[in-house]
Amino acid sequence: MGALVRYHCYNCYPIWCPVEQFLFCYLGHLPKSDIQQFTNAAWDNDTKTMSHVITNVLYETISYQNIKDSFYHDILSELLRDSVIVNSDNPGLVPGKTGIVIEDGFNNRAIIFELKRADNFEDLDNKAAEALKQIKDKKYLSELAPHILSVLLYGIAFQDKNCSIRSEKIRLSDKSDPT
């Protein structure tokens, strides 16, 4: 058996489950208010609230050892579960590209998240900036539906239970040159 994750849902006793089954164990236990608060903050480009929600989820629900990098991706996917996730790197849907993409077709907008893991706390901001740069360098914007006119880019770096978020808003007037 691989590493174990210790988590508790609010008002419950802690339990342990294998890392590979974390979302199965955890699904449905994340308060709807956290999901709504995170999603609203993401669409409003409110990185302070986003960071607060992520940090609370990490500190209040789990303790861990030897967690795989995909763990942070799973947490973010869980926070976005009410959004329409168009693409996600966890199952490797787009070879050579990573990140999570959500689109709001009714409002012609999208969000692209890229995640990085920092080796130490001091490197968090640099890794978040690196993640943001990767979105542009690897031309993630070219994968968006043609009707998308506004995109929020988020570079998020994690180090244990800490995170740093960098953002940028881009208006797409000419899809032929998305960067």
* pLDDT by 10s per residue, the chain, length 179: 455 444 444 444 454 455 455 555 554 567 788 889 999 999 999 999 999 999 988 877 665 554 666 778 778 887 887 776 655 544 333 444 557 888 888 899 999 999 999 999 999 999 999 999 999 999 888 888 889 999 999 999 998 889 999 999 999 875 544 44
What pLDDT score was predicted for residue 173? 72
Residue bearing tokens 């942070």: 72
Kindly give, in sequence order, each residue whose CB lies less than 8 Å from that of residue 142, ignoring residues fewer than 6 positions away: 178
CA 119 to chain centre: 18
Report whether 131 contacts 116 (CB < 8 A). yes
Q: What is the pTM of this model?
A: 0.78
What pLDDT score was predicted for residue 28? 53
- Between the CA of residue 137 and those of 53, 87, 133, what are the distances in Å? 28, 18, 6
Kindly give, in sequence order, each residue whose CB lies less than 8 Å from that of residue 153, ignoring residues fewer than 6 positions away: 111, 112, 114, 132, 135, 136, 167, 168, 169, 170
